[in-house]
Chain A
Amino acid sequence: MAIPTFTFDAVIIGAGGAGMRAALALAKSGYNTALVSKVFPTRSHTVSAQGGITCAIGNAHEDDWRWHMYDTVKGSDFIGDQDCIEYMCKTGPECVYELEHMGLPFSRTDDGKIYQRPFGGQSRNFGGEQAARTCAAADRTGHALLHTLYQQNLQANTHVFSEWYAIDLVKASHGKGFAGVTVMNIETGEVAFMHARAIVFATGGAGRIFQSTTNALINTGDGIGIALRAGLPVQDMEMWQFHPTGIAGAGTLVTEGCRGEGGYLINKDGERFMERYAPHAKDLASRDVVSRAMALEIRAGNGFETKGVQHVKLNLVHLGADLIKSRLPGIRELSMTFAGVDPIIEPIPVVPTCHYMMGGIPTNVHGEVLTVDADGTERSVEGLYAAGECACVSVHGANRLGGNSLLDLVVFGRAAGLHVEDQLQEHLPLHPVSDDDIEAATGRLRRWQDNKDGESVSDIKAEMQKVMQEDFGVFRTAEYMASGVEKIKGLRERLQHAVLTDHSKVFNTARIEALELDNLMEVAAATAFAADFRTESRGAHSREDFPKRDDENWLVHSLYFAEGDRLSTRGVNMKPKTMDPFEPVERVY
């Protein structure tokens, strides 16, 4: 089967913040770049980010990127790579000023500077008083950022393949590295091969492995699935952030900025319970800490119940109508739509909700994908990059701080773009490719075309989401996880026989959902195996049978390879370039 071939210097898969920032860097370089996205770029999930982008530009008070770095390392529960965190925090201000120059409509201070608000886990002077470090465009920062980057890409004439879906990586015929990626035009069903010297994954998260998530329906871990099928490892996949404030029942996000602006959580007695769990930071403790406290309150019978859903409440009433309307207008809109509650008048029902994948495709500080050979040698994969939520640089370690996700996107989207440009200038070749290898990278399509008798995509997806929700949630134990692993293995096998009934070509969304489920299942399996593997509690990974952090054995990243569900570990980088490292200490807020 000969399929059309497009040839590019670089192909970027995914048009959220990371993909569009990388594309922008490359478009300006003059290299022939394709930006492939399964949705029109401004429909990407970055659009849903609310509270802001964190960096030490010091508009609210004296600030220092090293203080930001300290908070991020501590937030990561010490398995964030310190060389990468250093790079992110240090480069952050430059990247944020760039966004402002591009036109991002930041909110402003009285003297006309970018407005910054307090967020969780932020401190001044290495653990001192609360900082205000998150740059915001009201509570629509992601929307403002994504649209700004799309607009810049329009101006730069980036070649956008909108509503094209990436299927799989194609091996180079000489056996080393990758020659490109197979893609499908969703509108026509046409399959093509994109032959490229460099490939950047920017496919975002995969929160849809859980029943209840703040994530968009499109967050199906496509890049993770593709990487695993190509024999590459994924890192720290047990680390999933549960955001404290998803609207109960609906799962939609309520920004941490609400608590940054002075909001607080209450239980059914009206008690501000975070004072008991985090006496110093209270409601602005790290997300893992707040989510666990909420889960414990609900478990102790201190929650509210609405239509069968247990929850606590987020009180903003005391902030007053003016502040809510000017700083949190989007939250008011979402709360009224999805909870039927106007936060000016009454508190919002909230519950910890799956929000962010700290794990992902391991990369170095340039966004180059890392792998480990059979003999244990670690190396980067030439020409292959990952940035944003699908990547694990790792700047978030075991727990991401609020506002660090948008920063990660622009810093490492840009870094990947710049490094690709550099490598294209140097030597990156267009690898030779065989028809057989292209054919192999469309195997999934044929399976879905040929299967005649089996279960439906929606049934298997629902069952997978239930297993992940019940056995790999906020609290985890060996017993549940072992049974969860078995269930996921069973579902993974059943998925191989599942059927698609719609085989039409034009805008066949059922086919896309089937292909997405292949990826979700890879992510679920990686998560389940990695969670069972790590026998300690750290950051978002909280085990009732191993309640303590175990630095002696687990101050490491986990690695998972799909082949044989193999697990291993790799060291955490403790060598920042310009300063002494932060040594692990007990993490209190």
Chain B
Amino acid sequence: MTEETQKIHFKIYRYNPETDKAPVMKDYYLEVPKATDMMLLSALIQLKAQDETIAFRRSCREGVCGSDGMNINGRNGLACITTLSSLKQPIVIRPLPGFPVVRDLVVDMEQFYRQYEKIKPYLQNDEPAPAKERLQSPKDRKKLDGLYECILCACCSSSCPSFWWNPDKFIGPAGLLQAYRFIVDSRDNQTTERLKDLEDPFSVFRCRGIMNCVDVCPKGLNPTKAIGKIRSQLLKEGT
């Protein structure tokens, strides 16, 4: 360590099912220049150059692909858009909670994807498509803002106690955000069917308004608000 560099302390969750009986938190140190800030993902890549056995997912490294969701100092986030300077040391990194761990920071997201698939995340319109585009007013298009931008990183669902309790029955915040994205799309005409699919006691109504999802979403989206809108539409349809 010199005047220009500082040593950063990490504690990283390590588990390889082939060799480890139980997970351990392992200490790592990285010397980084003081003058420049660094994203956590860059630090992890440098640590991996020291110890190539550390496993994590990553792709775009700019917060749009959703690969590197992890639990950072107790809070879910994307490593690629989290600066080291924003984190207290030791920086404790764990896999996303609530999912089975495949290895180290890599979790099995099958359950998360199944819930997404359940809401039929594709535009449905049984009328024949026109020769050109279906028209949509800027006002109607604006209703999709804050919904379509989801990157499926699972930071939200993985921080949601209702999802932990009922990962097989509660759609979870990410899936419900997309459910509402299609319900509210003026080009989709299956709203009634979509709502019907959600009216059981679990799919939507397990949401307890804890709002962890809103707190952690790295894209600043608001699943709780979308869930609220689905609920009121369900209640309206029900009466």
Contact = CB atoms under 8 A, between A and B. Distances in A.
B103 interface: yes
Nearest to B182: A103
A45 B59 CA distance: 8
Contact of B64 (A48, A187, A307, A458): A48
Contact of B60 (A151, A216, A333, A500): A216
Interface in B1-25: 16-19
A510 interface: yes
A101 B136 CA distance: 12
Nearest to B150: A147
Contact of A334 (B62, B109, B151): B62
A333 B219 CA distance: 9
Interface stretch (B121-129, B157-165, B191-199, B230-238): B121-129
A334 B102 CA distance: 31
A330 B64 CA distance: 9
Contact of A307 (B35, B66, B129): B35
A40 B182 CA distance: 22
B30 interface: no
B155 to A, nearest CB: 14
B55 interface: yes
Contact of A502 (B53, B122, B134, B149): B53
Interface in B130-173: 131-138, 141, 144, 148-149, 151-152
Chain B interface, >50% SS class:
loop
A5 interface: no
Contacts of A440: none
B239 interface: no
B52 A456 contact: yes
B121 A108 contact: no
Interface in B39-80: 48-49, 52-53, 55-67
A105 B135 contact: no
Contact of A47 (B17, B57, B64, B188): B64
B103 A217 contact: no
A252 B53 CA distance: 27
Contact of B52 (A39, A216, A330, A501): A501
A57 B130 CA distance: 14
B55 A509 contact: yes
A47 B106 CA distance: 21
B220 to A, nearest CB: 8
Interface in A157-202: 187
Interface in A43-78: 43-45, 47-48, 57
B52 A113 contact: no
Interface residues of A, number: 60
A450 to B, nearest CB: 17
A338 B39 CA distance: 9
Interface in A86-140: 97, 100-103, 105-114, 137, 140
A333 B16 CA distance: 36
B67 A114 contact: no
A253 B64 CA distance: 12
A42 B152 contact: yes
Contacts of A249: 36
A97 B35 CA distance: 49
Contacts of A501: 52-53
A101 B62 contact: no
Interface string A410-426: 00000000000000000
A507 interface: yes
B138 A48 contact: no
Interface string A520-532: 0000000000000
Nearest to B137: A112
Contacts of A218: 59
A507 B135 contact: no
B122 A510 contact: no
A457 interface: yes
A112 B135 contact: yes
Given A216-B59, A216-B61, A458-B49, A105 B144 contact: yes
29 contacts: A39-B67, A40-B109, A42-B66, A44-B59, A47-B151, A48-B65, A97-B132, A101-B133, A101-B134, A103-B185, A105-B141, A108-B136, A112-B136, A112-B138, A114-B133, A140-B149, A151-B122, A152-B122, A187-B102, A217-B58, A334-B62, A458-B48, A458-B49, A502-B53, A506-B103, A507-B106, A509-B48, A509-B55, A510-B52
Interface of A: 39-40, 42-45, 47-48, 57, 97, 100-103, 105-114, 137, 140, 143-144, 147, 151-152, 154-155, 187, 216-218, 249, 252-253, 307, 330, 333-334, 337-338, 456-458, 500-502, 504-510, 513
The 6 closest A-B pairs by CB, nearest first: A103-B123, A112-B135, A510-B52, A151-B122, A458-B49, A100-B133
